Amino acid sequence: MWKWINSFAKPEKAYWLASAMQPYFFAIALLGLTVGITWGLVFAPADYQQGDSYRIIYIHVPSAILSQTAYIAMATAALVGIVWQWRTAFMFISAIAPVGAVICFISLFTGAAWGKPMWGTWWIWDARLTSQLILLFLYLGVMSLYLAFEDKQQGGKAAAIMALVGVINIPIIKYSVEWWNTLHQGATISKFDQPSMPAEMLWPLLISILGFVGFIGIITLIRFKNEMIIRDKHRPWVMQMFAENSELQRLSASKKEVN
């Protein structure tokens, strides 16, 4: 089992796995985002207190949750890269960090847009908001460290260390509403025994979260594959892959000419 897992330390094997997973993430993203957001924005009932303004949760909540999940995935890759010296793990950090940063920014932007009508202000130094802003800075820091080194292997190690140190912010974000007196509301969908939302509001939210998972996955996989090609462009497996693709394109063109 470990031998099979360890085989994905090789870029060519990781590239194959990423290519195999792409269609599934694409299908999840297309179906989840289309159904979840359309259902939530158009067909879900209005909230009895907030009216239609609450509908921003179908973008805000998935982006907030998954910005943290993406960071955990990045930190896990960082641990694998540092402990087992996987080059592909460092490449994955480079691939997912910008995606996580964008998702984190979306969560902050939509949170501000939701906070204006609810709290009367675009921003307040609330514990949850501040720790989420720190998460964005951590993403930017990881990206900057990776790009600061001419040697990408060394840059990957430096970025991995920062990613691991920043993990401490994740439980702070999660439990900030319990540890401090904040304006931000507490848990809503994580209370499975008695959720705070009716089913007709909760289901489109869960589907939207699934759609965001697919969206983050497909973009990360594309970036991951590109990073592997760029880093290994002179290696035999990349040259062979491009040679095979060129041959397939030539054969396809020949068939079209014959027809």
The pLDDT assigned to 192 comes to 46
Report the half-sphere exposure of 11 (CA within 13 A, side-chain side): 20
Please state which of the ranges 67-71, 101-105, 186-190 shows the lowest mean pLDDT.
Answer: 186-190
Give the best-scoring range by mean pLDDT among 48-62, 197-211, 237-251. Answer: 197-211
**pTM of the shown model:** 0.90
Mean pLDDT over residues 148-158, rounded?
93
Mean pLDDT of 66-82: 97
Tell me which of 99 and 258 has the higher pLDDT.
99
In whole angstroms, what is the distance from residue 15 CA to residue 22 CA? 11
Task: State residue 234's pLDDT score.
Answer: 87
- Interatomic CA distance for residues 47 and 53, integer angstroms: 8
User: What is the pLDDT at residue 30?
Assistant: 98
Closest CA to 232 of 161, 152, 155: 152
Domain ranges for the chain, please list them: 32-183+197-233
Distances (CA, A) of 56 to 41, 49, 50: 8, 14, 11
What is the C-alpha to C-alpha distance for residues 156 and 169, in angstroms, rounded to an integer? 21
